[in-house]
Amino acid sequence: MSKFQDDFIVGIDVSSEFSIVAMLEPSGALIRKPFRIDHTPSGFHKLLDILKKEEERLNRKPIYFVESTGIFHLPLFFFLRSNDLKGFVLNPLCVHSTKNFDLRKVKNDAKDAEAIARLAKYQDIKLSLVPEPQILALRMMAREYFALSDMLTEMKNRLCTDLYLLFPGYLDVFANPFGKASLALLRDFPSPQHVLLADRETLTQMISKLSRKTVQWAGKKVDKLFEIATLSKSMPNDFSILSMKIKYHLDGIENLQNSLKNIEVQLHQMIDSAEFPEKVRRRIDLLDQMPGIGFMTAVTLIAEIGDFDMFTSPKAFTAFFGLDPSVNQSGKFIGDRNKISKRGTRFGRRVLFTVALSSIRTTRNGNAINPILRDFYTKKCVNKKKKVALVAVMHKLLHYIFAVLRDEKSFEFRSPEKHQSWRTSKLHLVAA
């Protein structure tokens, strides 16, 4: 049974420019036909006046429910909250599950608003609150960071395509073709013809300075550059126009890299400010200390989690990230090839995937970043596919993150045997 069964419920179906509102009395009867409000100051105040009048008549404060719609529900949600009204956000998956309640196929905004109200009033469903403004801003900036990062990857791929046609073999000259030395070289010498006309000594000094390597090392790179530039003469002359395209890509890469750096600086300033919640700052620091997790990863995870206190168990925490196994069972049939549900935050899963990859790799010296997780991954790979083993690592990481945030203690390496003995001694202490 829903805890809102005897309350004055307001269901709001939100779109970009207006919303449709349906109101239910404590008895469940529809107070009036669902009505429209525009997303303007006058529209918001119109809704507030109506709610206040009904509050006086029913002697009950309204509780409003909106379906999560990206960002469109936020202005109305914060307006009502600033006027001392209580509200919750419903997951679209829960709302869409009510579309077959009626036999007639009717789909319009008025029916949707009423369905939201009745779902909240009578069904015991999961509810969520909009995060605090600081967390919401943190989430939006973190997502923008990854959007720009995707654009940067696309720009780099396009540059590689042009270099493959105009300058075959260039991508094999530098270990990182997008390093400072490589990008500076392409900006000044964007084609094989430019390289052949350049002074060897000038190229050697430039590469040595920007890459922070010896002159002998840079000289070998220059020799290889002249070798592939000579071979590139066989390419059609019409491809020379690609040198201008390469410069456009270089400008785009530089602008995107600067934008990413600026976002990271702004996030540091925001988190270090006195207005930022101390508890959230502490949690970001705790995750940042974990091996395989950097500043941006920690910020993204905390921003996507929102209010960690609402998670009561690692199982619920895992389900939030969509890493819980789906269930496929009917009658006597029980499916044994179930995939992860992927019902949670996709940005959180994306970041967690990169953390898992980072946790199982080794340094140049051959030392594991996280020896326990690497050993766990290696054992899983014996009888599992690599991606399945990697998902198991992600699942294990979520348990680590949950424990760190729950106990608010720094992460420490602990072997399974040591952890089991620690857990046993802790249970004995609780029992005593």
Q: 18 and 39 in contact (C-beta within 8 Å)?
A: yes
What is the model's pLDDT at position 285? 94
In angstroms, the Cα distances linking 206 to 185, 216, 361, 374, 414 are 8, 13, 33, 40, 47
Q: What is the pTM of this model?
A: 0.80
Same domain, 293 and 384: yes
- Pair 154, 112 in one domain: no
261 — pLDDT class (breaks 50, 70, 90) = very high
Per-residue model confidence (pLDDT) at position 131: 67
Q: 296 phi and psi, to 5 degrees?
A: -65, -35
What's the confidence (pLDDT) of residue 254?
A: 92
Our count of domains for the chain comes to: 3
| Residue scoring higher pLDDT (254 or 412) | 254
At residue 217, the pLDDT reads 92
| CA dihedral (130, 135, 141, 142) positive or negative | negative
User: Do 339 and 243 belong together in one domain?
Assistant: no
Within a domain: 30: yes
Q: Let me know: does 171 contact 160? Beta carbons within 8 Å.
A: yes
Contacts 24+ apart (CB under 8 A), 172-180: 173/221, 173/224, 173/225, 173/228, 174/221, 178/253, 179/210, 179/211, 180/210, 180/211
Task: Report yes or no: 72 and 95 within 8 Å, Cβ to Cβ.
Answer: no
Residue 272 forms part of a structural domain: no
What tens digit of pLDDT does each residue of 99-154 get?
555 645 556 778 888 888 888 888 877 766 666 788 888 989 999 999 999 999 99
> CA–CA separation, 36 vs 13, rounded Å?
10
More confident residue, 233 or 183: 183
86, 186: one domain: no
Give yes or no: residues 108 and 125 share one domain. yes
**Per-residue pLDDT averaged across 310-316, rounded?**
87
The answer to whether residue 296 sits within a structural domain is: yes
Tell me how far apart the alpha carbons of residues 174 and 180 are, in angstroms, rounded to a whole number.
11
**Burial class for 238, CB neighbours closer than 10 Å (0-12, 13-18, 19+):** exposed
pLDDT of 336:
64
Average pLDDT over residues 335-339: 69
120 and 145 co-located in one domain: no
Residue 340, beta-bridge partner list: 325
Shared-domain flag, residues 295 and 239: no
**Beta carbons of 141 and 38 less than 8 angstroms apart:** no
* Amino acid at position 22, single letter: A
Chain segment 35-80, per-residue pLDDT in tens? 999 999 999 999 999 999 999 999 989 999 888 777 788 888 889 8
Residues 6+ apart with CB under 8 A from 393: 356, 359, 360, 373, 376, 377, 380
pLDDT for residue 240: 64
Q: Out of 130, 152, 179, pick the residue that ends a domain.
A: 130
* 228 and 300 housed in the same domain: no
Q: Look at residue 157 in the predicted model and tell me its pLDDT.
A: 93
CA diameter of the chain: 88
Does residue 169 sit in the same domain as residue 123?
no
What confidence tier does 97 reach under pLDDT thresholds 50, 70, 90?
low
pLDDT of residue 96: 67
Residue 267 resides in a domain: no
Query: What's the pLDDT at 333?
Result: 66
Is 301 within the bounds of a domain?
A: yes
- Each residue of 26-36: pLDDT tens digit? 888 899 899 99
Q: How confident is the model at residue 196 (pLDDT cuts 50, 70, 90)?
A: confident
Higher confidence at residue 2 or residue 427? 2
Instruction: State which residues form the domain around 373.
Output: 277-431
**For residue 13, what is the domain's CATH number?**
3.30.420.40
Residue 238 has a pLDDT of 58
Cα 293 from Cα 358, distance rounded (Å): 8
Q: Is residue 337 part of a domain?
A: yes
Same domain for 57 and 99, yes or no, is yes
Q: Tell me: pLDDT of 430 over 60.
A: no
Beta-strand relationship, 329-330 and 86-90: unpaired
Residue 247 in this model has a pLDDT that exceeds 90: no
**Alpha carbons 19 and 10: distance in angstroms, whole number:** 12
Residues of the chain above pLDDT 90, percent: 33
Same domain, residue pair 217 and 241: yes
Is residue 158 domain-resident?
A: yes
At which of 130, 146, 180 does a domain end?
130
pLDDT score for 416? 67
Segment 405-423, tens digit of pLDDT: 998 888 887 766 666 665 6
DSSP readout, 42-91?
A: HHHHHHHHHHHHHHHHHTS-EEEEEE--TTTTHHHHHHHHHTT-EEEEE-
Looking at residue 126, its pLDDT comes to 72
Mean pLDDT along residues 185-200: 87
Contact by Cβ (8 Å): 422, 414:
yes
Residues 281 and 427 in one domain: yes
- The DSSP-derived string for 101-157 is SSSS----HHHHHHHHHHHHHHS----BPPPPHHHHHHHHHHHHHHHHHHHHHHHHH
The mean predicted confidence, pLDDT, of the chain is 85
Listed range (6-15, 20-29, 150-159, 332-341) with the worst mean pLDDT: 332-341
